[in-house]
Chains A and B, each alone.
Chain A
Amino acid sequence: MATLSILFDGYFQCRLATDPDPSNEQRGVSGFTYSVAGETLLDPSIWSQAKDIEANYGLKDEAFRDPLRSNPQFDIKNIREASPDNVVYNTRGIGINVSQVLIDGENWPEMESKLKGGLCRFANRAQSNGPFKGPIFEGRNQITSDGDPDRFTVNPFLFTISTPDDSKLILSRFDPLSFEFPDRQLYQVFPNEEVDRRLPTQRFALSAEGLAQIGQSTDSLATFFQNRMLWLQGKIVEAQALNKPALVEAYRSRLYAVNFFTQATGPTVLANRLLSRIPLRQLYQHKIRGTAAMNPVPFMDMDFFSPVTTDLSKEWEIRYYLGQYDGDLMAGYCSGVLEIPVS
Chain B
Amino acid sequence: MTQKIPKKIQLSPKLHQKLQSLDQTAKDELTDLIYDLLKQASTTEHLLAMQYLFSCFTMKKYPEEFEDYLPDSPDPAQQRINQIRLAQVEKIRRWEANILMVSREEMGHLCYDMNLLAILGKDPYLFRPNFPVPAESFPLSKPVNLMPFSQAATEIYRFWEKPDHLPLPDPKWAEDLPAHIKPLYSMPHLDPVPFDPDVAEKEALDFLSDFLEGTADGDQLNKVKRPLQYGSFFNSIEKLYTFIKLYLLLGLKYKILEGKNMERIVDEHYGFNIVLNPLVLGQFEGYVEETIDQIIQEGEGVWGIPPTLGSHFWVFQTILESMAKEEKETGLPFAPALPVIWNPSYVTPPEFHLSTPGTCTQTSVTAPVTNEVAIAAMQLFNQAYQVMIRMLSGFFGHYEIDQTTGIRPPQVNAYFQTAFYPFMTNVIRPLGEMICRLPADEGFVPNGGKVPNRCAGPDFLIPVDQLNEGSIKEMTVPFSELQDYLDAFEKMRISALKLSEACKTRGYHMAFYQQPDARDFDVSFTYLAEHLERISKNFAAYWTGQMVAPVSSRGFQNYSSTFN
Which residues from chain A sit less than 8 Å from chain B, CB to CB? Answer: 19-30, 34, 36-38, 40-41, 43, 56-57, 63, 130-131, 133, 139-147, 150-151, 185, 187-188, 190-193, 195-196, 199-203, 205-206, 221, 244-246, 248-250, 252-253, 256, 260, 267-269, 272, 275-276, 279-280
Q: Given contacts A246-B86, A260-B97, is CB(A206)–CB(B561) below 8 Å?
A: yes
CB pair A246–B87 under 8 Å, yes or no, is yes
B321 at the interface (CB under 8 A from A): no
Q: Given contacts A24-B524, A43-B517, is CB(A38)–CB(B425) below 8 Å?
A: no
A-B complex: 4 closest residue pairs judged by Cβ atoms: A249-B90, A246-B86, A141-B426, A267-B273
CB pair B517–A253 under 8 Å, yes or no, is no
CB pair A205–B558 under 8 Å, yes or no, is yes
Q: Given contacts A27-B61, A141-B425, is CB(A269)–CB(B269) below 8 Å?
A: yes
Please report the C-alpha to C-alpha distance between residue A200 and residue B554 in the assembled complex, in whole angstroms.
Answer: 9
Query: Among the interface residues B425, B516, B559, which one has the most CB atoms of the partner chain A within 10 A?
Result: B425
Please report the C-alpha to C-alpha distance between residue A29 and residue B433 in the assembled complex, in whole angstroms.
Answer: 12
CB pair A26–B90 under 8 Å, yes or no, is no
Please report the C-alpha to C-alpha distance between residue A205 and residue B563 in the assembled complex, in whole angstroms.
Answer: 7
Contact of B519 among A24, A29, A260 (CB under 8 A): A24
Total residues of chain B contacting the partner, CB 8 A: 65
CB pair A144–B551 under 8 Å, yes or no, is yes
Q: Given contacts A142-B422, A245-B87, A253-B94, is CB(A192)–CB(B563) below 8 Å?
A: no
Closest to B527 in A: A24
B530 at the interface (CB under 8 A from A): yes
CB pair A19–B541 under 8 Å, yes or no, is no
Q: Which residues of chain B come closer than 8 Å to A23, judged between CB atoms?
A: 426
Q: Given contacts A19-B425, A24-B527, A260-B97, is CB(A268)–CB(B269) below 8 Å?
A: yes
B552 at the interface (CB under 8 A from A): yes
Please report the C-alpha to C-alpha distance between residue A279 and residue B538 in the assembled complex, in whole angstroms.
Answer: 32
B20 at the interface (CB under 8 A from A): no
CB pair A30–B100 under 8 Å, yes or no, is yes
B417 at the interface (CB under 8 A from A): yes
Interface 1/0 per residue, B504-547 and A, CB below 8 Å: 00000000100111110001100100110111011001000011
What's the nearest-Cβ distance from chain A to residue B68, in Å?
Answer: 15
CB pair B83–A245 under 8 Å, yes or no, is yes
* Contacts A141-B426, A206-B559, A246-B86 known; 9 new A-B pairs at CB < 8 A: A28-B93, A130-B527, A139-B550, A140-B422, A142-B422, A200-B554, A200-B556, A201-B554, A256-B97
Interchain Cβ contacts within 8 Å, total number: 181
Q: Which residues of chain B come closer than 8 Å to A201, judged between CB atoms?
A: 554
CB pair B541–A191 under 8 Å, yes or no, is yes
B486 at the interface (CB under 8 A from A): no
CB pair B547–A249 under 8 Å, yes or no, is no
Q: Which residues of chain A come closer than 8 Å to B533, judged between CB atoms?
A: 187
Which B residues, 137 to 194, have Cβ-Cβ distances below 8 Å to chain A? none
Please report the C-alpha to C-alpha distance between residue A140 and residue B529 in the assembled complex, in whole angstroms.
Answer: 12
Which B residues, 419 to 433, have Cβ-Cβ distances below 8 Å to chain A? 421-422, 425-426, 429-430
A-B pairs with beta carbons under 8 Å apart, 29 shown: A25-B430, A27-B62, A27-B93, A29-B97, A30-B101, A34-B93, A40-B517, A41-B512, A140-B531, A140-B534, A141-B421, A141-B426, A142-B417, A143-B531, A146-B549, A146-B551, A185-B530, A192-B551, A192-B552, A205-B561, A206-B559, A206-B561, A244-B83, A246-B83, A246-B87, A253-B93, A253-B94, A268-B269, A268-B274
Query: Among the interface residues A26, A185, A201, which one has the most CB atoms of the partner chain B within 10 A?
Result: A26
Please report the C-alpha to C-alpha distance between residue A275 and residue B546 in the assembled complex, in whole angstroms.
Answer: 35
Q: Which residues of chain B come closer than 8 Å to A19, judged between CB atoms?
A: 271, 421, 425
Q: Which secondary structure dominates where chain A touches chain B?
A: loop
B84 at the interface (CB under 8 A from A): yes
Q: Given contacts A192-B547, A192-B552, A201-B554, is CB(A143)–CB(B271) below 8 Å?
A: no
CB pair B516–A57 under 8 Å, yes or no, is yes
CB pair B551–A145 under 8 Å, yes or no, is yes
Closest to B59 in A: A29
Q: Which residues of chain B come closer than 8 Å to A249, judged between CB atoms?
A: 86-88, 90-91
CB pair A187–B534 under 8 Å, yes or no, is yes
Query: Among the interface residues B272, B275, B531, B564, which one has the most CB atoms of the partner chain A within 10 A?
Result: B531
Q: Which residues of chain A come closer than 8 Å to B400, judged between CB atoms?
A: none
What's the nearest-Cβ distance from chain A to residue B107, in Å?
Answer: 11
Please report the C-alpha to C-alpha distance between residue A191 and residue B46 in the assembled complex, in whole angstroms.
Answer: 36
Closest to A264 in B: B562
B459 at the interface (CB under 8 A from A): no
Q: Which residues of chain A come closer than 8 Å to B97, judged between CB atoms?
A: 29-30, 256, 260
Please report the C-alpha to C-alpha distance between residue A240 and residue B547 in the assembled complex, in whole angstroms.
Answer: 54
Closest to B423 in A: A141
CB pair B517–A245 under 8 Å, yes or no, is no
Q: Which residues of chain A come closer than 8 Å to B271, judged between CB atoms?
A: 19-20, 269
B89 at the interface (CB under 8 A from A): yes
Contact of B517 among A133, A199, A279 (CB under 8 A): A133
CB pair A63–B83 under 8 Å, yes or no, is yes
CB pair B421–A142 under 8 Å, yes or no, is yes
Which residues from chain B sit less than 8 Å from chain A, CB to CB? Answer: 56, 61-62, 79, 82-84, 86-91, 93-94, 96-97, 100-101, 104, 269, 271-275, 417, 421-422, 425-426, 429-430, 512, 515-519, 523-524, 527, 530-531, 533-535, 537-538, 541, 546-547, 549-554, 556, 558-559, 561-564
What's the nearest-Cβ distance from chain B to residue A106, in Å?
Answer: 33
Q: Given contacts A29-B100, A187-B530, is CB(A146)–CB(B90) below 8 Å?
A: no
Q: Given contacts A206-B563, A245-B84, is CB(A143)–CB(B426) below 8 Å?
A: yes
Contact of A192 among B96, B272, B524, B550 (CB under 8 A): B550
Q: Which residues of chain A come closer than 8 Å to B88, judged between CB atoms?
A: 249
Q: Which residues of chain A come closer than 8 Å to B83, judged between CB atoms?
A: 63, 244-246
Closest to B94 in A: A256
Please report the C-alpha to C-alpha distance between residue A267 and residue B101 in the assembled complex, in whole angstroms.
Answer: 10
Closest to A265 in B: B310
Q: Which residues of chain B come closer than 8 Å to A280, judged between CB atoms?
A: 563
Please report the C-alpha to C-alpha distance between residue A334 and residue B523 in the assembled complex, in whole angstroms.
Answer: 31
CB pair B552–A193 under 8 Å, yes or no, is yes
What's the nearest-Cβ distance from chain A to residue B57, in Å?
Answer: 11
Q: Which residues of chain A come closer than 8 Å to B89, judged between CB atoms?
A: 27, 37
Please report the C-alpha to C-alpha distance between residue A206 and residue B104 in the assembled complex, in whole angstroms.
Answer: 31
Please report the C-alpha to C-alpha distance between residue A25 and residue B61 in the assembled complex, in whole angstroms.
Answer: 10
CB pair B547–A191 under 8 Å, yes or no, is yes
CB pair B551–A195 under 8 Å, yes or no, is yes
Please report the C-alpha to C-alpha distance between residue A144 and residue B533 in the assembled complex, in whole angstroms.
Answer: 12
Please report the C-alpha to C-alpha distance between residue A249 and residue B85 in the assembled complex, in whole angstroms.
Answer: 11
Q: Which residues of chain B come closer than 8 Å to A27, judged between CB atoms?
A: 61-62, 89, 93
Please report the C-alpha to C-alpha distance between residue A21 and residue B512 in the assembled complex, in whole angstroms.
Answer: 18
CB pair A143–B535 under 8 Å, yes or no, is yes
Closest to A272 in B: B562
Q: Which residues of chain A come closer than 8 Å to B551, judged between CB atoms?
A: 144-146, 151, 192, 195-196, 199
Q: Which residues of chain A come closer than 8 Å to B86, judged between CB atoms?
A: 37-38, 246, 249
Query: Among the interface residues B61, B90, B271, B538, which one has the most CB atoms of the partner chain A within 10 A?
Result: B90
CB pair A140–B275 under 8 Å, yes or no, is no
Please report the C-alpha to C-alpha distance between residue A187 and residue B538 in the assembled complex, in whole angstroms.
Answer: 10
CB pair A21–B425 under 8 Å, yes or no, is yes
Q: Given contacts A246-B87, A249-B87, is CB(A151)–CB(B93) below 8 Å?
A: no
Closest to A198 in B: B551
Q: Which residues of chain A come closer than 8 Å to B430, judged between CB atoms?
A: 22, 24-25
What's the nearest-Cβ distance from chain A to residue B485, in Å?
Answer: 15
Please report the C-alpha to C-alpha distance between residue A82 and residue B551 in the assembled complex, in whole angstroms.
Answer: 34
Q: Which residues of chain B come closer than 8 Å to A206, judged between CB atoms?
A: 559, 561, 563
Q: Which residues of chain A come closer than 8 Å to B554, judged between CB atoms?
A: 150, 199-201, 203
What's the nearest-Cβ distance from chain B to residue A14, in Å?
Answer: 13
Please report the C-alpha to C-alpha distance between residue A20 and residue B97 in the assembled complex, in whole angstroms.
Answer: 11
Please report the C-alpha to C-alpha distance between residue A252 and residue B89 in the assembled complex, in whole angstroms.
Answer: 12
What's the nearest-Cβ distance from chain B to residue A3, in Å?
Answer: 27
Please report the C-alpha to C-alpha distance between residue A280 and residue B563 in the assembled complex, in whole angstroms.
Answer: 8
Closest to A36 in B: B90
Q: Which residues of chain A come closer than 8 Å to B550, judged between CB atoms?
A: 139, 142-146, 151, 192
CB pair A143–B100 under 8 Å, yes or no, is no
CB pair A272–B275 under 8 Å, yes or no, is no
Q: Given contacts A30-B101, A145-B551, is CB(A22)–CB(B425) below 8 Å?
A: yes
